[in-house]
Chain A
Amino acid sequence: MKRKRLLLFLIVMCFSLLWIGPLVLTVINSFAPITKGESDTISINEIRDKDEEGFTEISFLPEAYSLEQYEEILMKTPVYLNMFWNSVIITVSVVAGSVIVSTLGAYGFTMLRFRGKELLFLVYIVVMLLPLQVTLMPNYLIAGFLGIEDSYLAIILPAVFNPFGVFLLRQQMKVLPEECMEAAKIDGAGHPQIFFYITLPMVKSGIAALVMLLVIEYWNLIDQAIIFIKRIEQYPMSVFLARINKEASGISYAAATFYIIPVLALLCYGHEYLKEGIGLMNVKGR
């Protein structure tokens, strides 16, 4: 039994190392100096085609350590921090809008009775199952029709009305005790009171899970930004990180490390909510 557990522990450790390895290397290499010019052995932060056989010798750890990369992205060039704030604007708008729309939508689907409710919810699920790339073109056409194709609204509006949030919160609201709602109704509470004072406090973990999932998704968005945003100064930082090339590789590690901090902090803080919220998605209710 003990041996089995040890084996399991080792396997889990191996997988953990596989996952955490790139993260650790990114953080370590963010302290490498910004390298310029040729050298026999290059650091991972200076990946490039080297010899005529096409092989590149890479040392995973830098030969020297400095804060040059951080100095460059945080103090010398405002472009990177601008991109960071662009990401913040997009993510915060999406999260705020989506939470409002999703809680109200989920409440409607759970508590209200109207004809075609289940059919409408089925449509929600179908839309949710569509890959992002499929809906990009219709979204682009609609954005063009509304005249918002070169603004953040083209990204934010489809995200705010994303059916996933409604689905997640509806699953949570389905398991709320019906007695509470009935008691509130007997006491004379209307839908606004039930929504704000009973339902919302009871689905806190679901909302927290939704917030985290949305932050992860829109903090790392690339496709929508590349398609909708034309001006480079409006790009979020995720686009820059996705376009790492030879020229920018020297600072990309520091940019990636810096960029990861808020999401990592959020996940460290709310991972229990996330587990709870996602776990409740499988619960069958009314």
Chain B
Amino acid sequence: MKNRMERRTTVFLAFMIVFFGMTGYLTYYSRVVYLGNLPAVTVIMPERTGDLKNGRYTYVVPEDSIKVDPMGKTYILTARYQTDIIGERYLATRIDVWVLERRDDNMAIIDGMVREEPVLTGAGDLIGIGDSIVVISGDEDER
């Protein structure tokens, strides 16, 4: 009886070690695969105009980075740095903005940005709010 219990305990412990070991490895593997498959987007660091509006600075961003939701509200997507259990990555974050002026060089002056973050350009509709992304433009400070 005791022998049987000991055998069962050994089998159970061995199974648990293998199961959790495999799960641990798969967790690591899936993170690597996931981070490797994230959509790459180009970003640009918004340029401060030097003007203050509503206590905030206004910024110059490319016109194609400004989106309009079905309610008619204008917004931009910024790449917000995030580090969590999955790893280091950026999240596409919605920032509601007001377009103050559209310029001839396809740039626009906006108000509403509180944090200076890289702005997604030309992301189209493929990137949704909250999506994990990889930032490929290295010409600006990305964090």
- Chain A residues in contact with chain B, CB under 8 A? 74-79, 81-82, 84-85, 88, 233, 261-262, 265-266, 268-269
Contact = CB atoms under 8 A, between A and B. Distances in A.
Interface stretch (B28-36, B53-61, B69-77): B28-36
Query: DSSP majority for the B interface?
Result: helix
Given A78-B86, A233-B84, A269 B12 contact: yes
A193 B29 CA distance: 47
Interface residues of A: mostly helix, strand, loop or mixed? helix
B33 to A, nearest CB: 6
Contacts of A84: 23, 27
B40 interface: no
A261 B27 CA distance: 17
Contact of B30 (A77, A233, A265): A77
A79 B30 CA distance: 9
**Residue in B12, B27, B30, B85 with the greatest tally of chain A CB atoms within 10 Å:** B30
Interface residues of B, number: 19
A283 B15 CA distance: 34
Nearest to B37: A76
A262 B26 CA distance: 16
A207 to B, nearest CB: 14
A77 B33 CA distance: 8
A77 B38 CA distance: 11
B8 interface: yes
25 contacts: A74-B30, A75-B26, A75-B29, A76-B30, A76-B37, A77-B30, A78-B30, A78-B34, A79-B86, A81-B23, A81-B27, A81-B30, A82-B27, A82-B85, A82-B86, A84-B23, A84-B27, A233-B84, A262-B19, A265-B12, A265-B15, A265-B19, A266-B12, A269-B8, A269-B9
Contacts of B20: 88, 262
Interface string B1-32: 00000001100100110011001001101110
